[in-house]
Amino acid sequence: MPDHAISPTRAADYPEWYQQVVRAADLAEQSPVRGCMVIKPHGYAIWERMQTILDRMFKASGHQNAYFPLFIPLSYLEKEAKHVEGFAKECAVVTHHRLELSPEGKLIPTGKLEEPLVVRPTSETIIGAMFAKWVQSWRDLPLLINQWANVVRWEMRPRLFLRTAEFLWQEGHTAHATREEAVEETLRMLDVYATFAERDLAMPVIRGPKPAAERFPGAVDTYSIEAMMQDGKALQAGTSHFLGQNFAHAQEIKFAGPTGAEEYCWTTSWGVSTRLIGAVIMTHSDDDGLVLPPRIAPTQVILLPIHRTPEEKDTVTAACRRIEAELSAARFGDEPVRVRTDARDMRGGEKTWQHIKQGVPLRVEIGPRDLAAGTVSLTRRDRPPKERTSLALDTFAALVPGLLEEIQQGLFKRACDFRQRKSVRLDSLDAVRAFFGSDGGGEGKGAGGFVHAHVADDPAVAEAFDPLKVTVRCIPMEGDDEPGPCIVTGKPVTRRSVLARSY
Amino acid sequence: MPDHAISPTRAADYPEWYQQVVRAADLAEQSPVRGCMVIKPHGYAIWERMQTILDRMFKASGHQNAYFPLFIPLSYLEKEAKHVEGFAKECAVVTHHRLELSPEGKLIPTGKLEEPLVVRPTSETIIGAMFAKWVQSWRDLPLLINQWANVVRWEMRPRLFLRTAEFLWQEGHTAHATREEAVEETLRMLDVYATFAERDLAMPVIRGPKPAAERFPGAVDTYSIEAMMQDGKALQAGTSHFLGQNFAHAQEIKFAGPTGAEEYCWTTSWGVSTRLIGAVIMTHSDDDGLVLPPRIAPTQVILLPIHRTPEEKDTVTAACRRIEAELSAARFGDEPVRVRTDARDMRGGEKTWQHIKQGVPLRVEIGPRDLAAGTVSLTRRDRPPKERTSLALDTFAALVPGLLEEIQQGLFKRACDFRQRKSVRLDSLDAVRAFFGSDGGGEGKGAGGFVHAHVADDPAVAEAFDPLKVTVRCIPMEGDDEPGPCIVTGKPVTRRSVLARSY
């Protein structure tokens, strides 16, 4: 057994380490279709956990799920000029609706469509068209809709979970009578994402508005949550857009107010995707593989029976069943503890390492010697693999929810500490250049961290950072104003922004 | 108010009645994209109920969810000849991966793909390609996978839920070491579907194998569950396919057995779709709109506060909150009762009729007079709209689970009785012709019902029934063998089949 289960280590080659963690944890793999991934059962189970929690939060804040067509007519896309510009370069286009076999046995597309259809890269235009039908009066507002769906953005350099041609996501779309309500909704959903990221994914995030150049195509304001990965890079983990009346004008989403006068709606949209799985991997995992925060771990406790003789097997199996029943009756975070027994007939070491690599928070070994002594042997995924604790069999189950909470909080704290160590406040362009390395730095080594600096929302700023491969991630909303001059243009700005390399 | 909320009635024009129920219950509507529907919040909430229950059943029988690409390369489809034949005529084909704006401001597809991609009509080929990678040894079997996804089958005559170009479904795909295990799996999932249809949808179904001509393209055997709609037509509500080694050969899904010898896997696939929503509508609804079986009703109990003065409003609202809390704590079928208060400020009659049309099983009116008398006023969706029962306020909540169960069972019994009345056993082709009407009958009137008759699995049979627009739905598995001569060919067969017109 090498020192670590994953080769290369994070320090040696971060991007390759990421691929190897995904593979070792059996989360996903490339499909034969260029840029499209297959999400394997363990990866999909994590997505299901994310969906369950988010869906509950969306519904609790008054949203309803619905489903809209996969296809969008070109004429719909054409209606919002900036929106088209933003997405045209990455659209999969359906042009035919049947296939015929050629004499050589090859399939040939036939049945050419009068108007080609785009596979949705996002659904503002098609959902807007429906909203225009549904909204008549102010009584129909606010309209608060969410969709769980697949989307396609043609991607030339795919990377599992982080950048794929097809991905799974949710997209919220809402329409409001006033600007204020729409802005409030935009910020409410940003907060939902931030709460979910920090409480459930144990991933600290910075929330704030993006500079103009980084806005969603067609939005008035885009807000994001930005997380720091273990190589110091930023990952945009969710976005919430205030669309103003741009799409309402393009799609004619109008309502009659209480006085009968017709007005355009104010709309928002917001989304998170399977990219979050990549974010979780890169926030918590180590050189032994995946580390999962208990709240989103499909299995929180794995029971590992150990036995040699048939008699031992009977005793140990019976004990596992009892413990499993007892733990399933315990609750962690409003839900039953998710416990499973791995009774597969294979070498114990190999089996244990599978669960380490898959990130199961708690492993419990149950053998005849432990049982005779009235104990179980516990190992935690957030501690070194060999660090065992012996716990009394009859009180163990009652301790599990507390242990899971301790791991959840511990992972969050570790990520917060890491981010703090890798964050600096800098007050000159030269200092920023020095921080990131004047050569632009290599992936994994010079990636740096987060720089908090004063910058104006100005093309000159983006230009100055471009050679460093650094962008302005957002203007953090937390904390007080701290005015200062832009380190590029000298213009006065009221708050610092976060600069970083990013995924 | 007319006699009935839905016009036309079922008797007057069944197909139009169906459209009007979908509209009145606010379940779905046509989108601007030809053949694609928008599933509105109420329709989607029913689908979510179906998903929740089925997903639990799939997981309980050892299946895991995963996700596979939306796109399938043409070369994959070409591998299984019958499969291609079956789906080529209805495939949406992606041929380009970007758009450019023409000088006239029109979007033009560019970036032609080397190999066109089909939007999945079903995923045997792409999932089979992954299975071929994942299965190495007999230890990797059985492989039991399910996918929740959207699929596209180009549809020239779309009808909401029943036939749409895009629909939502689940598709199970499994691989096994032996023929026996694969057949067992095929039948196990058919039983899961039948149990779900009868227990949860309150919809009696007949399960059995399809004749050769009606098999899934590429399958060795296709089994279906067939339900009877209120016009006497059959609706295929779910299918389970034994694929033999056809796809394993086409995709090279092989495993090394315990002796090391390489063998081809035996595979199955099975699916149900949003079509089930159409089936539920047509099984239970009446001339006042949708009727939902409590187990899949998104709202099982709607509380309707009635008040005139502000004081009345306070008292009534407080009472509704108490009742809502009490009911949410009660359980029906392993889950909390789903109760909601409709406090919207609108005319009481209009509000009540909305819930009738939307199929809410129990409506509870709560007014100051009731409260003073210590009662609530209850109406049931399975009884006439005006049939009220007065129940004691303090014991009412405890009765609700029993009432919901009574409605669930009552709907099932009513559907069983209806099916029995509309089913006949016939022993000659002339009798079958007379039953369905020699002119082929009109939709809605002469649709007939189910004919149980002896027929051989022979093209001559399909030909004989074609002018009647009747097909052999399946050979029911329930009951004993009853040999007899085929009413078309005279060949001896062991059991009767079910003949019907169908959706």
Which tens digit of pLDDT belongs to each residue from A442-454?
A: 443 456 899 999 9
Which residues numbered 165-204 in B keep a CB inside 8 Å of some CB on A?
A: 166, 168
pLDDT at A438: 55
Interface check for B145 against chain A (CB to CB < 8 A): the answer is: yes
Nearest CB among B44, B88, B105 relative to A107 is that of B88
Task: For chain B, give the mean pLDDT.
Answer: 95
Tokens of B86: 């079956």
Whose tokens are 């507390």? That residue is A402
Query: Is A429 in a helix, a strand, or coil?
Result: helix
A247 CB within 8 Å of a chain B CB: no
What does A23-35 look like in DSSP terms, one character per residue? HHTT-EEE-SSTT
Which uninterrupted H or E stretch holds B256? strand B254-256
Q: Which two tokens stand for residue B407?
A: 């409605």
Average pLDDT over residues A330-342: 95
B93 in A contact zone (CB under 8 Å): yes
pLDDT of residue A309: 94
* SS3 state at B344: coil
Nearest CA in chain A to B102: A78
* B173 neighbors B268 (Cβ within 8 angstroms): yes
Sequence-distant (6+) residues with CB within 8 A of B495 are B454, B475, B476, B481, B482, B483
Our CA-based measurement puts residue A14 at a distance from the nearest CA of chain B, in whole angstroms, of 26
DSSP H helical ranges for B61-99: 74-77, 81-87
Task: Output the CA angle A326-A329-A332, nearest 5 degrees.
Answer: 115
CA B229 and chain centroid, separation: 12
Residue B414 Cα, gap to closest chain A Cα (Å):
31
pLDDT above 90: residue B102: no
**Nearest to B57, CA basis, from B179, B200, B184, B226:** B200
What was the pLDDT predicted at B79? 86
User: Hey, of A97, A137, A345, which one would you mutate to test binding to chain B, going by the most B CBs within 10 A of its CB?
Assistant: A97
DSSP letter string over B441-495?
--TTSTT--EEEE---SSHHHHHHHGGGT-EEEE---SS----EE-TTT--EESS
pLDDT in tens, B392-436: 999 999 999 999 999 999 999 999 999 999 999 999 999 999 999
What was the pLDDT predicted at A348? 77
The alpha-carbon gap from B167 to the nearest alpha carbon of chain A, in Å, equals: 9
* Pairwise CA distance, residues B175 & B185, whole Å: 10
Measure CA of the first residue to CA of the last residue in chain A; give whole Å: 33
Q: Distance, in angstroms, between B138 CA and closest chain A CA?
A: 14
Give the distance from residue B94's alpha carbon to the nearest chain A alpha carbon, in angstroms: 4
What backbone torsions phi and psi does residue A71 show, to the nearest 5 degrees? -100, 145
Pairing of strands A362-366, A301-305: parallel
Which amino acid, residue B243? Answer: L
Nearest-by-CA chain B residue for A112:
B93
How much is the pLDDT for A79?
A: 86
- CB of A88 within 8 Å of a chain B CB? The answer is yes
Cβ–Cβ below 8 Å for A93 and B90: no
Test the B interface: residue of A30, A38, A131, A338 with most B CBs within 10 Å: A38
Q: Hey, are the CB atoms on A93 and B109 less than 8 Å from each other?
A: yes
Does the pLDDT of residue B279 top 50, yes or no? yes
Residue A103: its pLDDT value, please?
86
Token digits of residue A128: 């807007």
Give the up-direction half-sphere exposure of residue B10: CA atoms within 13 A in the CB hemisphere. Answer: 15
Q: Are A253 and A175 in contact (CB under 8 A)?
A: yes
- Bridge partners (DSSP) listed for residue B234: B228, B502
Q: List pLDDT tens digits, range B36-82.
A: 999 999 999 999 999 999 999 999 999 999 999 999 999 998 888 88
Give the end-to-end CA distance of chain B in Å, rounded to a whole number.
Answer: 33
A286-295, A438-447, B17-26, B325-334: least confidently modelled range: A438-447
Do you find a cis peptide bond into A142, omega within 30 degrees of 0? yes
Residue in B441, B301, B312 with CA at minimum distance from that of residue B367: B312
Kindly state the tokens that stand for A399: 């301790």
CB contact under 8 A, A97 and B90: yes
Cβ neighbours of residue A276 under 8 Å, at least 6 residues apart? A50, A197, A201, A237, A238
Best mutation target, A94, A141, A164, A277, to test chain B (most B CBs within 10 A): A94
Q: How confident is the model at residue B186 (pLDDT cuts 50, 70, 90)?
A: very high
Q: Is B468 on the interface with A (CB under 8 A)?
A: no
Written as six digits, the tokens of B179 are 């023929």
pLDDT band with cut points at 50, 70 and 90 for residue B437: confident
Chain A contacts of B96, Cβ < 8 Å?
A: 92-93, 95, 116
Alpha-carbon span A25 to A40, nearest angstrom: 10
State the Cα torsion A46-A48-A50-A51 to the nearest 10°. 160
Residue B145's alpha-carbon distances to A160, A365, B223, B374, in angstroms, are 20, 29, 19, 54
Which of B36, B77, B145 lies nearest to residue A71, judging by beta carbons? Answer: B36
Q: HSE (CB half, 13 Å, CA atoms) of A444?
A: 11
Residues of B in contact with A40 (CB under 8 A): 66
**Residue carrying the six token digits 């659209």:** A91
Residue B245, pLDDT score: 98
Pairing of strands B234-242, B221-228: antiparallel
By CB neighbour count within 10 A (0-12 exposed, 13-18 middle, 19+ buried), where does A358 fall?
buried
Residue A28 has pLDDT above 60, yes or no: yes
CB B154 within 8 Å of CB B164: no
CA B269 – CA A94 distance, rounded (Å): 27
Residue A212 has a CB neighbour count (10 Å cut-off) of 14
Does ipTM surpass 0.90 in this model?
Answer: yes
- Best residue of B27, B29, B33 to probe chain A, by most A CBs closer than 10 Å: B33
In the predicted model, is pLDDT for residue B172 greater than 60? yes
Q: Is B479 on the interface with A (CB under 8 A)?
A: no
**pLDDT on residue B445:** 47
Interface mutation target, options B93, B147, B164, chain A, most CBs of A under 10 Å: B93
Residue A463 has pLDDT above 70, yes or no: yes
Name the minimum distance, in Å, from the CA of B380 to any CA of chain A.
Answer: 26
Query: Is a pLDDT exceeding 80 seen at residue B215?
Result: yes
Residue pairs between chains A and B whose CB atoms are closer than 8 Å? 188
pLDDT tens per residue, range B332-370:
988 999 999 999 988 879 999 999 999 999 999 999 999
Q: Give the pLDDT score at A2.
A: 61
Backbone angles phi, psi at A255, to 5 degrees: -140, 155
The predicted model gives A252-275 an average pLDDT of: 97
Residue A106 pLDDT more than 90?
no
pLDDT digits (tens, 9 = 90+) for A230-258: 999 999 999 999 999 999 999 999 999 99
Mean pLDDT of A57-63: 98
If you measure CA to CA, which chain B residue comes closest to A114?
B34
- Percent of chain B surpassing pLDDT 90: 91
**Could you tell me if B343 lies within 8 Å of chain A, comparing CB atoms?**
no
> Global pTM?
0.96
List the beta bridge partners of residue A379. Answer: A363, A388
Q: Does B59 touch chain A (CB under 8 A)?
A: no
Contact A488, A429 (CB under 8 A): yes
A205 to chain B nearest CA, in Å? 28
- Chain B residues touching residue A115 (CB < 8 angstroms): none
Task: Measure the CA–CA gap between B276 and B237, rounded to whole angstroms.
Answer: 6
The yes-or-no verdict on residue B451 having pLDDT over 50 is yes
Share of chain A above pLDDT 70, in %: 98
Averaged pLDDT, B432-444: 67
Q: For the ranges A30-44, A431-445, B159-173, which has the lowest average pLDDT?
A: A431-445
Chain A CB contacts of B106 below 8 Å: 74, 78
CB contact under 8 A, A74 and B32: no
Task: Give φ, ψ of A19 to 5 degrees.
Answer: -60, -40
Question: The dihedral of CA B343, B344, B349, B351: what is its sign?
Answer: negative
Q: Do B92 and A89 touch (CB under 8 A)?
A: no
Pairing, β B93-101 against β B362-366: unpaired
Handedness of CA A246, A249, A253, A256 (dihedral sign): positive
pLDDT at A440: 46
Residue with tokens 């918590």: A284
Give CA separation, B192 vs A25, B160, B199, B241, B380, in Å: 31, 25, 10, 14, 29
Taking residue A142's Cβ as centre, other Cβ atoms within 10 Å add up to 22
Q: Under a CB-based contact definition with an 8 Å cutoff, are residues A134 and A143 in contact?
A: yes
Find out whether B265 and B137 touch, Cβ atoms under 8 Å: no
Distance CA A283, CA A291 (A): 9
Percent of chain B with pLDDT strictly greater than 70: 98
Per-residue confidence (pLDDT) for residue A488, from 0 to 100: 97
Q: Which residues in chain A have Cβ-Cβ distances shorter than 8 Å to B129?
A: 31-32
User: Which residue stretches of A173-274 are H helix?
Assistant: 179-195, 246-251
pLDDT, mean over chain A:
95
Q: Which residue of B has its CA nearest to A80?
A: B105
- Asked if residue B446 has pLDDT above 90, the reply is no
Three-state secondary structure of A155-191: CCCCECCCECCEEEEEEEEEEECCHHHHHHHHHHHHH
Nearest partner of A204 among A144, A255, A280, A96, judged by Cα: A280
Q: What is the pLDDT of residue B155?
A: 86
Chain A, 2-41: which have a CB under 8 Å from a chain B CB? Answer: 31-33, 36-41
Which member of B48, B70, B100 has the closest CB to residue A65?
B48
Per DSSP, chain B holds a count of helices (H) and strands (E) of 14, 27
C-alpha to C-alpha distance for B456 and A327, rounded to whole angstroms: 56
Give the separation between CA B267 and CA A344, rounded to whole angstroms: 23
Query: What's the rounded Cα separation, in Å, for the pair B365 and B305?
Result: 6
Judged by CB atoms closer than 8 Å, whether chains meet at A69 and B45 is answered as: no
**Shortest Cα distance, chain B CAs vs residue A279, angstroms:** 19
Instruction: Report the distance separating Cα B295 and Cα A151, nearest Å.
Output: 32
The pLDDT assigned to B90 comes to 94
Q: A487 in helix, strand or coil? A: coil
Yes or no, beta carbons of A94 and B94 under 8 Å apart? yes
User: Which residues are within 8 A (CB) of B406 and not within 5 positions of it... i.e. 6 or more apart?
Assistant: none
- Report the residue of chain A nearest B144, measured CA to CA: A41
